[in-house]
């Protein structure tokens, strides 16, 4: 019986998780694929470091040694950064290997290029691990929602930001203290910019957009705001109103184009994201036949990410490469243009006595903070006039906390 | 170009939804399948009734007319009851048609029989619509979690029960009033037994068990309790403790056998089922590599159910029939036997002064109701001794409502 030969590039958390899982689930892989799966080689940086790897695996820091192997069916990439990753993966495709990647930054930048090359060389690409860790959102969009026209995708895609927001709320901590705990726990890097300023979520959003809509918005048009400006006071004010801050990526396709944003948003108790806490991720997919479905699960970690890679291994080995790589779905969401839609906002710094025909006051948390109904244009005007210091959109329905919070919230 | 010919059995909510969706999504189906999909025939009871169906569709109450069609690729079954459905579907398989069913009662009873027959005749069976409406839980287990060893599946599988529990809590209604509203809204039948006594959820649980574990527990060993004994007082007591009643199906595979139960359970705020309200359904899948993932969405309704059928249509037409119909996953969950595990319970009728070495008091809601920690055996003993009137298990972690509910809950 023939064997499927795999190379793993990188032996950090993800690479090691994939290696261990291929060993521990050898039986399942053989049953599903009808062939044994064998790790033939691992690309590492430092050959001297001690690692717990079987003796028959080629351990090398020279990718050419891997490319020269007599058989190489799948290359799993678990490195970070755009280069040399892209170059290595292109070489792997040209050699005729399927590739699987967990690298969102590289894949957001160069996914299209890799797909074109893969199509020419008749190999498949697995990229489930680039978005929302172990949650099978890519494959749900790729394999399960074939006929549904997806029009909106929303997600909590950065576990680090969600962990920080949860800590700040639950333990009344400052952003700095919560970030420092996230760093201690290994959830955040020493330089946390990628996570807390929304770059990581942005890359994932672009990948989701491509798989859901077959295309991306112009990157420059996407609003990208991180969580570093969210104070514990703001979180407390929101809590009084029955709202929670979540860092949410949203992509919406209308007839003419794709709108996307990655920013802090408020959600009420009836929203499925309300109880998504800590490092968990969640994705809402809105389609025309089924309506809204929500997928929730671990957004990162050694084994959740390894799970995504291993299930992709089955996918790339079983499926004929085809133009289904990026589904082109024609969405027909004729939603009113965002600017004219009346939405709910948590606003701070607006005087209680401020009256405007377009603004409806919904609930007051403190003298300074309230929930109002207004159009986006109106809100922008208020911010320009400096009548309000800051404001955040509320996603979904808002139910005021009338029962438990009578003393603190006046329902207007 | 050849055409895929479909017959729809039944033209109630589901049948009509499928018919309309095949018309409205003709372009998507053709793009995905590479062939046009055409509804060739519809089986109805009453030929006289006026229906909005194209003239070129054969409308008949005689299934033999459908079987005699020169071409019949897929038969979609949207009738209720075990017979004559089973007989019709067997005939369809024997004729060489793929089948898709939305009928949980029939499929829970006869799924294995149909699968054996389908394997002999080299056709596929789609049954996504039998469980959790539009949520693609069957295909997630069937196509996406191939290598993960699933050990536990939990679900809110009956939208009617969940709607009633939500109404009772939100509007402080009695069970009878909430049921009557569910009937008015068309969520519950005139005879609501199937929904409110847990039979519907039970059938769905058996189907989930087969797809997750390749087998079912003995039906007689499965605890099946409905929601008709849940009073609005109990719901209010739970609310004071920060808990909500949910009607939950759970299946757990240990080395030796499968445990299943369908019954009212309490969940706290940090549980993903806490905010699943109204007719929504949700399923937790716990596997060894990825951990817990949650899928949430519409559990019933014309188009959510049609969505499941239409996506199944793509599945049966694209996939080679194989023994992958029921995945056999070896779960290795060596969890402690239930009886000896210390769990959390909401208990009513136990005197505050009752002391027992195995019982830990966690929080007191009223003089009569409290949250305690105890083993299942201990709880059973208390119920036999009539020291407690009723009790419900709490799923997941419990965080007492310390902040908002100081006056009503004493944290012990």
- The CATH number of the domain holding residue B211 is 3.30.360.10
For residue A366, being part of any structural domain is answered with yes
Query: E-assigned strands of B3-138?
Result: 3-9, 36-43, 58-60, 74-77, 98-101, 125-126
- Has residue B304 been placed in a domain? no
> Would you say B330 and B124 are in contact if contact means Cβ atoms under 8 Å apart?
no
Cβ proximity of A11 and A29 under 8 Å: no
Backbone angles phi, psi at A251, to 5 degrees: -130, 135
Cβ-Cβ contacts under 8 Å, A28 against chain B: 146-147, 149, 329-330
Residues B151 and B76 in one domain: no
Residue B394 Cα, gap to closest chain A Cα (Å): 17
- pLDDT of amino acid B348: 78
Instruction: Please report whether residue A360 resides in a domain.
Output: yes
Residue of B nearest to A304 (CA): B290
How big is chain B by its Cα radius of gyration, in Å? 23
Nearest Cα residue in chain A from B150: A28
**Quick check: is B332 in a domain?**
no
Specify whether A255 is located in the same domain as A141.
yes
Whether A53 and A188 map to the same domain: the answer is no
- If DSSP codes are grouped into helix, strand and coil, which group holds residue A140? helix
Q: What is the mean pLDDT of chain B?
A: 87
Give CA separation, A108 vs A40, A156, A201, A204, A405, in Å.
Answer: 28, 17, 11, 7, 44
- Chain-chain contact of B297 with A298 (C-beta, under 8 angstroms): no
Could you give phi then psi for residue A153, rounded to 5 degrees? -130, 130
Mark whether A12 and A60 lie in a shared domain: yes
In eight-state DSSP terms, residue B221 is: G
How far does A143 lie from chain B, in Å, by closest CA? 8
CA dihedral B381, B385, B386, B391 (to 10 degrees): -10
- Give the ipTM of the model, two decimals please: 0.87
Rounded Cα distance between A300 and A306, Å, is: 9
Q: Which residues of B are catalytic?
A: 204
Same domain, A141 and A266: yes
Q: Which long-range contacts (CB under 8 A, 24 or more apart) does A46-51 make?
A: A51/A11
Nearest CA-CA partner of A344 in A383, A368, A376, A373: A373
CATH number of the domain that A115 lies in?
3.40.50.720
Distance from C-alpha of B398 to C-alpha of A186, rounded to nearest angstrom: 26
Q: What percent of chain B has pLDDT over 70?
A: 89
Instruction: With beta carbons under 8 A apart, name residues in chain B contacting A294.
Output: 294-297
pLDDT, tens digit, for every residue of A345-378? 888 777 766 776 666 777 777 777 788 888 888 8
CATH number, position B349: 3.30.70
> Residue holding tokens 């469980």?
B131
Token digits of residue B27: 């372009």
Among candidates B148, B293, B314 on the partner chain, residue whose Cβ is nearest the Cβ of A296: B293
With beta carbons under 8 A apart, name residues in chain A contacting B295.
Answer: 293-296
Q: Which residues pair with A262 in a beta bridge?
A: A224, A249
Question: B231 falls in which pLDDT band (50, 70, 90)?
Answer: very high
Q: Which residue of chain B has the CA closest to A301?
A: B290
Residue that is written with structure tokens 């459908």 in the block: B66
> How far is residue A283's CA from residue A296's CA, in Å, rounded to a whole number?
6
pLDDT band, very low/low/confident/very high, at B57 (cuts 50, 70, 90): very high
Please work out, in degrees rounded to the nearest 5, the angle formed at the alpha carbon of residue A193 by the alpha carbons of A188 and A195. 50
Q: Do B86 and B22 belong together in one domain?
A: yes
**Option in B143, B269, B296 nearest A143 (CB):** B143
Please indicate, yes or no, whether residues A195 and A152 belong to a single structural domain of this protein.
yes
A168 and A293 part of one domain: yes
pLDDT tens digit sequence for A295-318: 999 988 899 999 999 999 999 998
Min distance A32 CA to chain B CA atoms (Å): 7
pLDDT, tens digit (0-9, with 9 covering 90-100), for B130-158: 999 999 999 999 989 999 999 999 999 99
Measure CA of the first residue to CA of the last residue in chain B; give whole Å: 73
Q: Do A143 and B139 count as a contact with CB atoms less than 8 A apart?
A: yes
Residue B310, domain member (yes or no): no
| CA gap A309, A317 in Å, rounded | 12
Res. B169: pLDDT tops 60: yes
Same domain, B151 and B110: no
State which residues form the domain around A38: 3-126
Residue B305 lies in a domain: no
Give the C-alpha separation, A199 to A203, whole Å. 6
A136:B140 CB<8 A: yes
B29, B314 Cβ separation under 8 angstroms? yes
Long-range CB contacts for residues B173-180, cutoff 8 Å, separation at least 24: B173/B232, B174/B231, B174/B232, B175/B227, B175/B228, B175/B230, B175/B231, B175/B232
Q: Which of A81, A97, A126 is the last residue of a domain?
A: A126
d(CA B306, CA B316): 15
Mark yes or no for CB contact B290/A308 under 8 Å: yes
Q: Decide if B309 is inside a domain.
A: no
Last residue of a domain, one of A126, A160, A186: A126
Active site residue A204: yes
- Chain A residues touching B294 at Cβ < 8 A: 294-297
- Pairwise CA distance, residues B385 & B359, whole Å: 15
Reply yes or no on whether the pLDDT at B405 is more than 70: no
Same domain, A202 and A275: yes
Question: Is A77 contained in some domain?
Answer: yes
User: What pLDDT does B358 receive?
Assistant: 60
Asked if A307 and B289 come within 8 Å (Cβ–Cβ), the reply is: yes
Q: Where are the alpha helices (DSSP H) in B40-172?
A: 63-67, 85-94, 104-120, 137-139, 159-170
Distance from A149 to chain B by nearest Cα, in Å?
8
Distance from CA of A323 to the nearest CA of B (A): 10
- Does residue A144 sit in the same domain as residue A261? yes
Q: Do A147 and B310 touch (CB under 8 A)?
A: yes
pLDDT band at A385 (very low <50, low <70, confident <90, very high): confident
Q: Is the pLDDT of residue A65 over 50?
A: yes
**Which of B138, B144, B305 to mutate: most A Cβ within 10 Å?**
B144
Residues B19 and B95 in one domain: yes
3-class DSSP assignment, residue B13: helix
Q: Which of A5, A204, A240, A263 is catalytic?
A: A204
How many structural domains does chain B have? 3
Q: Which residues pair with B297 in a beta bridge?
A: B281
* Residue of B360 and A42 predicted with greater confidence: A42
- Chosen domain end from A95, A126, A157: A126
Distance CA B365, CA B375 (A): 21
């Amino acid at each position: 019986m023939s064997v499927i030969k795999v190379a793993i590039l990188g032996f950090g958390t993800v690479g090691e998780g994939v290696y261990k899982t291929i060993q521990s689930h050898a039986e399942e892989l053989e049953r599903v694929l009808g062939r044994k799966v064998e790790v033939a080689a691992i690309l590492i940086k430092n050959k001297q470091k001690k690692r717990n790897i079987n003796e028959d695996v080629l351990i090398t820091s020279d990718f050419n040694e891997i490319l020269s192997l007599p058989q190489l069916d799948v290359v799993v990439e678990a490195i970070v950064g755009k280069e040399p990753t892209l170059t290595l993966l292109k070489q792997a495709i040209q050699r005729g290997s399927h590739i699987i990647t967990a690298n969102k930054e590289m894949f957001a930048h160069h996914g299209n290029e890799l797909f074109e090359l893969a199509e020419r060389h008749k190999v498949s690409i697995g990229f489930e691990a680039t978005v929302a860790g172990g949650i099978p959102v890519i494959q749900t969009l790729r394999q399960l929602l074939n006929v549904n026209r997806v029009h909106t995708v929303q997600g909590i895609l950065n576990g680090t930001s969600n962990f920080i927001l949860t800590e700040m709320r639950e333990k009344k901590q400052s952003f700095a203290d919560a970030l420092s705990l996230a760093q201690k726990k290994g959830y955040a890097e020493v330089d946390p910019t990628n996570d807390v300023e929304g770059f990581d979520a942005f890359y994932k959003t672009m990948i989701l957009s491509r798989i859901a809509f077959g295309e991306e918005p112009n990157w420059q048009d996407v609003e990208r705001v991180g969580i570093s400006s969210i104070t514990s006071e703001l979180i407390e004010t929101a809590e009084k109103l029955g709202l929670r801050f979540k860092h949410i990526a949203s992509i919406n396709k209308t007839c003419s184009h794709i709108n996307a944003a990655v920013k802090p948003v408020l959600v009420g108790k009836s929203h499925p994201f309300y109880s998504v806490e800590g490092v968990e991720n969640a994705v809402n997919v809105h389609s025309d036949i089924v309506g809204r479905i929500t997928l929730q699960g671990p957004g990162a970690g050694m084994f959740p990410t390894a799970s995504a890679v291993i299930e992709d291994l089955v996918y790339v080995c079983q499926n004929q490469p085809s133009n289904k790589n990026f589904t082109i779905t024609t969405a027909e969401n004729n939603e009113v243009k965002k600017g004219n839609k009346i939405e709910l906002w948590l606003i701070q710094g607006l005087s209680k006595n401020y009256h405007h025909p377009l603004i409806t006051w919904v609930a007051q948390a403190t003298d300074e903070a309230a929930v109002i109904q207004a159009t986006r244009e109106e809100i922008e005007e208020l911010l320009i006039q400096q009548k309000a210091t800051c404001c955040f959109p509320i996603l979904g329905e808002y139910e005021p906390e009338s029962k438990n919070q009578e003393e603190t919230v006046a329902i207007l």
